[in-house]
Structure 1
Amino acid sequence: MRKKLTALLLACLLLVCLVLPVSAADAPALYGTANAADGTVTVTLSLRGGSAVRSGAFTLSYDSSLTLSKTEKGLPLAVANTKEKGKVVCNWVGGAAEADQAVLTLTFTNAATKSYTFKVSGAKVTDKNYETTKIADFPIRIYVACNGKNCPSKSYKDVDQTQWYHNAVDYVLGNDLMKGTGKTTFSPDATLTRGMVVTVLGRAAGVKTSDYTGTSFSDVKAGSWYAPYVQWASKQGLVKGYEDGTFKPEQNVTREEMVTMLFRCWQSEGNTWKTDVTALNAYKDSAKVSSWALPAMRWAAANGVVNGVGDSMLEPQGQATRAQFAKIIMVYLENLA
């Protein structure tokens, strides 16, 4: 997990992603980079510290909706087995000299406006003494932005493509995290409800709705669009009901409530962090954050999940909007999840 965020740059034509798994100093490491432009994704697996490496192997799994159109060998004796769709098995002989060297570059076409994760597993390298070092599995993530023509939000008349929320709305629509409020409306400035928040979090977590058929709250009807996600969130400890046994799924949430649900979701994955109050205290209205929301708001501010609403104001108890949540969930998933 990356604890600190650099500025989030989502260019409509090009995005670059780098994943470098942790390894001991001077030990050989396999890492991946990904680039996206105009519906094409290029993934390169490279070797670092390979002067002593004599051979190696890895398996890369990819979204089968992508089309693997080109395979380029970085090392002369690299062999890629691409017979099974959705998987590339690579074995190579040889290693880099002093500088890093690409082992294999894969080009994928037919990429939609969404996030893709390429999973590298079973990686290992063998040195001249025939000693094998296993490299921990790692993901290579890339978000393919729209090029201005195929934006998921294009059909929504109330989404202004010049506004700050445009890329975020495309992101949540392209990744099936949020849906429009009508055939031609997204309602970016509409308030956000408790039911909406847990639904988006559940979709992001890949919740299998058939696993959550019951209901723990008197006002959450089984079969409603948010029911399985509310049940999941309750079981995960992300939300709690009210004393009268209700959940109030249609009740609007404040910005601090929204962030607290997200923080609990992050914690439920076993994540921890060292408290840093500096970023939150920089906001003029930081004293207005409720005591119960302080841990979450400090985490969100320190990690760039929230960036205020202008003029150094956070408005923690202001009503959260759909556009704001789209931006926050995009930042969270791309940088912390």
Structure 2
Amino acid sequence: MRDGIKSALSQLEQECLDCGACAEVCDLLAELTDSPGELARRGIDVYLAYSCFLCDRCAAACPLELRPSALFAARRMAAVEKGEIDPEEYNYLLPDRKEHVMQLYRSYCGIDYGDLEAEKGAEICFFPGCTLMTYSPVLTREVFKRLEDECGCRGMLTDCCGKPLSQMGLEERAAESSRNLVDKVKCLGVKRIVVACPGCYYYLYEILGQEEIEILTVYEVLDFTEITAENAPLCTVHDSCPDRFKGVFSKGVRAALKKSGFSVVEMTANRGDTPCCGSGGQVSHFRPELAEKLIEVRLREAEKSGARVLLAYCLSCVLNFATRPSGVKVRHVLNLLLGLDEDYSDVKTKVLKILENAG
């Protein structure tokens, strides 16, 4: 991944047209007087490096398909290597540390998946992702049960894919996390992994792409039966940043909703043009005002769509939107498709209390 970032940064330095197309869709770039190409040639400071959501909406807008996010990702790696940022200050965010926030939450709430852990010979496994298995254990277990019944899933992988570490600039720790996961999957003899989180899905493709392991989404595998359409609320879908270019989840989710009798009205910005929910790149911990602005704008757009329910297929997106008062109900897509109505509005409040007690 480091080589990919360096290559994208070099391309940005040499080919950026300074046309401003990226700044039209990104509040951060709009704040700056220099283009991404100029910034790449001149360099940026640490504060700016951790102000980018790494969502690649800028890349989607670029006529040359350049990636300005590479500038910020590369600077984060440099900041870690030069000791300009102390990772120990952010251990509560990092999944390779024992007492990170999600582990604390699971311990506090008594959430455990020891009975579902994949064992040797489990060729088909479910990979829920850290956020889903932490903050929605009911949904996680229901999805596993459906996978067990419908496709012979025999275990769950509760590891982190390593993406949060990479986004922080901790490439060595991310690489170690990825190696451990690859070794585990090979040792268990896993042939197929079914994924619920779009971030995990695309990251797993990067680290397992050479291992001949099939990676599928839950929307490709599960058979969502039809419901009574007359009682189905009008929905709108917030698409996830990692799905921006390939659209595997956005297509699968909309197909599943249609099959189940739900109608979807699109917001003005959808699929590849969708803005970040505010959780990308850990920016909410460095520039919370930028994250808050994105959240408020998106909620207002959902209200204007006329939908009664705002859906997302990434639980991080759901948690960001659910904690703010709005005129739409916020739910995970799987909540609707599986008939499990969960209220996520107080999750982040509970997280803060747990961190306060732990600190």
Give the structure-1-normalised TM-score: 0.29
Give the structure-2-normalised TM-score: 0.28
Structure with larger Rg: 1
Larger helix share, 1 or 2: 2
Larger strand share, 1 or 2: 1
